[in-house]
Amino acid sequence: MDSRESAAFSAETYFATQPAPPSLDHDRASVRDFVLRQTDLGNKVVLVTSGGTTVPLERNMVRYLDNFSAGTRGATSAEYFLKAGYAVIFMHRQFSLQPFSRHYSHSTNPFLDFLEIEHKPSASASALTTPEITVTPEKRADLLSVLTAYKTVQREGTLLTLSFVTVNDYLWLLRAVSEELSEMRRNAMYYLAAAVSDFFLPRQKMSEHKIQSGKGSLHIEMDQVPKILKPMVDEWTREGFIVSFKLETDPQLLLPKCRQALKRYGHQVVIGNDLNRRKFEVVFVSTNNGTLSESWLRLSEDLHTREIEEDIVDELVRRHQAWTNIKQ
């Protein structure tokens, strides 16, 4: 794959040539209903994108390229936005982490390990004992707190969950959700934490069936995914507060890339994070009256129980409030 030779699709060409996912109309309708309901309730709404997108190599897909992301940033942030009183549209990669259930991920904290089977004695000595499921005592307080927050959100209907798998699903869904959410104008925030593929294979160039081995090495030329932040800022959202993330692995590149993104797209905030330090430090890059401003948010290393997303969300809620106060 050689990025120098790949073609650049405009967003317009992309949507004119690539097929919409079958669930798009249904998802759009559910977002429309959600936005109407939250508007009636006077809630602000944030769209949180989370997890990585895939790029299929075949139409009958056996193989695909994936983007790194467990969905931790998005799922954790969604919880803090809900806690701050926002309604949340959580647009995530299918099977990546989700708000609340993330605390009991099957690999790091399997929920079955929290449960005990107790055999309660029956009233009559001859009858069989009835097994009951209980929670391990030392895990109860944490579980109760997560469960209480989860049940409150369910009762209040403030969380709408949508999923994508491929970069194509993601782009179509992002446009549809943004257009519906733009009805809320300044009361909408867009928090783009998903890790989006930069290159893809247009449907027209994809092999229909499984690519056969036996011909030696495989050469694939991929096209560039259109940079959707541009149409998002200029066309899909009206006065919304847009926050994008920038992931780098070379610390020297992080700030220049954040500044470049802000200049190029003209949105409100770029949050820069280094792959290996992303759980402890991020940098907010924005403009204030035309002047570039950069501020680091850091967790001290001894604060292992605090999640950096709590501080990120606090700061964004404050900035969004200031944004909604600006006279239109």
Contact residues: ligand PMT, CB under 6 A: 69-73, 192-196, 198, 225, 227-229, 244-247, 273, 278
Q: Minimum Å distance from CB 173 to ligand PMT?
A: 13
* Residue 142 CA: distances (Å) to CA of 15, 47, 78, 112, 279: 45, 27, 18, 15, 21
Assess contact for 47 and 188: CB atoms under 8 A.
yes
Q: Minimum Å distance from CB 262 to ligand PMT?
A: 11
Segment (H or E) for 285: strand 281-288
Q: Minimum Å distance from CB 231 to ligand PMT?
A: 9
Nearest residue (CB) to ligand PMT, 151 versus 277: 277
Nearest residue (CB) to ligand PMT, 35 versus 192: 192
Task: Give the burial string for 271-288 (b: 16+ CB within 10 Å, else e).
Answer: bbbbeeebeeebbbbbee
Assess contact for 22 and 166: CB atoms under 8 A.
no
Assess contact for 167 and 54: CB atoms under 8 A.
yes
Amino acid at site 254 = L
Question: Using CA atoms, how far apart are residues 62 and 163, in angstroms rounded to an integer?
Answer: 20
Question: Using CA atoms, how far apart are residues 320 and 314, in angstroms rounded to an integer?
Answer: 10
Q: Minimum Å distance from CB 62 to ligand PMT?
A: 25
Q: Minimum Å distance from CB 73 to ligand PMT?
A: 4
Q: Minimum Å distance from CB 120 to ligand PMT?
A: 42
Nearest residue (CB) to ligand PMT, 227 versus 319: 227
Nearest residue (CB) to ligand PMT, 271 versus 317: 271
Q: Minimum Å distance from CB 244 to ligand PMT?
A: 3
Nearest residue (CB) to ligand PMT, 178 versus 273: 273
User: Is the CA virtual torsion 153, 310, 91, 69 positive or negative?
Assistant: negative
CA–CA–CA angle 242, 247, 253 (5° rounding): 110
Nearest residue (CB) to ligand PMT, 43 versus 102: 102
Nearest to 178 by CA among 245, 100, 230: 230
CB neighbours of 205 closer than 8 A, spacing ≥ 6?
A: 221, 223
Nearest residue (CB) to ligand PMT, 80 versus 245: 245
